Amino acid sequence: MQRNATIDVRIKSIIKETETIKRFTLQAVNRTELPPFSGGSHITTYLPKSSETLERSYSVFNLSEPDSIEIAVRLAEPSTGGSEYWHHHVSEGDALKISYPKNHFPLSFQAKHHVFYAAGIGITPFLSMMAELSEKNQSFELHYAAKSKEQCAFYDYLNQTYRGRCHFYFSQGEMPERLTANNLKDHRIGTHVYYCGPEKMIQEFTSAAKSYGYPEFNVHYERFAPPEKKDAVLFGITLKQSGKQLEVPEESSLLDVLRQNGIDIPYSCRVGGCGTCEVKVAEGEIDHYDSFLTDEQRDSNRTMLSCVSRGKGNVVLDL
């Protein structure tokens, strides 16, 4: 299969899960089976918008119909184009292209027990993970935070399908309750924990797990947006093999600039989690914003993930 191979799909149905989240069911245009996917997988969708194609990645699941793939999209405020397009410009019957499923957030089957921590739209990768574990009769539980029951996507489905395994935390209402990292203290040895939510949540839970003595390989997380880059500034790059010099503006990524200049860097997640867009650094210092490289690799300043990390001053790339 070619790296950029795509599948033609049609929007079978659209369901409004909450005021800000819609579920889209996708089926192959030719009515053949879509490729299988494992728990935690995602696809890239290619959205035709005026003179450009928006590429956006979403976790996949299947709660309703065979031979289909489902995604859920939250309308972001402000939107960078993807969620606004899905919510306001996509209708049932529309055709578009998607990538084959990929998985950079897989389940660990070394775990004796799996615990999922979700906030808001961060529930989506866990829908397929729980389905896979349930089918294999594996032990798991879910902790899911939302502002209210009405804003908690898939609340009824989760309660009915995984009764007794789901714990909900609503920050608004008569008896507000917040999900905190203190829950991590209650899990038995051999537990693997998984987080998906805002950057602040991921940092809080990852730091807490480390302080509580969780082995690093027992902790898994997925970002649904690139990490915030504080005080991002323009930096320069030199391509070692050709001597070509380019600039990376504060609002652009190194990956974007390289591809705009005809350098075919492979990529997948675009949030610093999979390592696909890694490039070698010949000279210079790097501000690392990824969750893929080891501390030793970051300290060496010999490699960087081009989708999220940035240079300090000028950087020479081994390209």
CATH of the domain at 59: 2.40.30.10
Beta-ladder partners of 27 = 10
Environment class of 306 (CB within 10 Å of its CB; exposed 0-12, middle 13-18, buried 19+)? buried
Judgement on whether residues 254 and 183 belong to the same structural domain of the protein: no
Judgement on whether residues 56 and 117 belong to the same structural domain of the protein: no
Judgement on whether residues 213 and 131 belong to the same structural domain of the protein: yes
CATH of the domain at 304: 3.10.20.30
Domain tally, the chain: 3
| Phi, psi for 210 (deg, rounded to 5) | -65, -45
Judgement on whether residues 91 and 120 belong to the same structural domain of the protein: no
What does the pLDDT read at residue 1?
42
Both tokens of residue 289? 């914003």
What does the pLDDT read at residue 33?
82
Both tokens of residue 105? 């957030």
Q: What is the DSSP letter of 182?
A: G
Judgement on whether residues 84 and 24 belong to the same structural domain of the protein: yes
Residues near 63 by beta carbon (within 8 Å), at least 6 away in sequence: 70, 127, 154, 157
Judgement on whether residues 190 and 131 belong to the same structural domain of the protein: yes
Per-residue pLDDT of the chain (319 residues), as tens digits, is 445 689 999 999 999 999 999 999 999 998 778 999 999 999 999 988 777 788 889 999 999 878 899 999 999 876 667 899 999 999 999 999 999 999 999 999 899 999 999 999 999 999 999 999 999 999 999 999 999 999 999 999 999 999 999 999 999 988 899 999 999 999 999 999 999 998 899 999 999 999 999 999 999 999 877 777 767 899 999 999 999 999 999 989 999 999 999 998 888 778 888 888 999 999 999 999 988 888 899 999 999 999 999 999 899 999 9
In this structure, the number of other CB atoms found within 10 A of the CB of residue 93 comes to: 9
Considering 99, 128, 147, which residue would you say is the last residue of a domain? 99
- Residue 152 domain flag: yes
CA pair distance 153, 243, nearest whole angstrom: 51
Q: Which residue in the block uniquely carries the two structure tokens 């210079």?
A: 284
What does the pLDDT read at residue 79?
64
- Residue 281 domain flag: yes
What does the pLDDT read at residue 129?
98
Judgement on whether residues 212 and 121 belong to the same structural domain of the protein: yes
What does the pLDDT read at residue 60?
97
CA pair distance 194, 6, nearest whole angstrom: 29
Judgement on whether residues 20 and 80 belong to the same structural domain of the protein: yes
- Residue 300 domain flag: yes
What does the pLDDT read at residue 76?
84
Judgement on whether residues 125 and 216 belong to the same structural domain of the protein: yes
What does the pLDDT read at residue 2?
46
Judgement on whether residues 46 and 143 belong to the same structural domain of the protein: no
- Residue 306 domain flag: yes
CATH of the domain at 133: 3.40.50.80
Considering 47, 67, 99, which residue would you say is the last residue of a domain? 99
- Residue 105 domain flag: no
CA pair distance 180, 207, nearest whole angstrom: 12
- Residue 155 domain flag: yes
Judgement on whether residues 255 and 154 belong to the same structural domain of the protein: no
Both tokens of residue 65? 């119909």
- Residue 108 domain flag: no
- Residue 282 domain flag: yes
Considering 222, 256, 273, which residue would you say is the last residue of a domain? 222
Judgement on whether residues 202 and 295 belong to the same structural domain of the protein: no
- Integer CA distances (angstroms), 43 to 9, 81, 215, 283, in order: 12, 17, 30, 35
**262 touches 242 (CB < 8 A):** no
Give Cα 69 to chain centroid, integer Å. Answer: 17
Domain that residue 24 falls in = 6-99
Both tokens of residue 156? 């009824």
Both tokens of residue 306? 């081009």
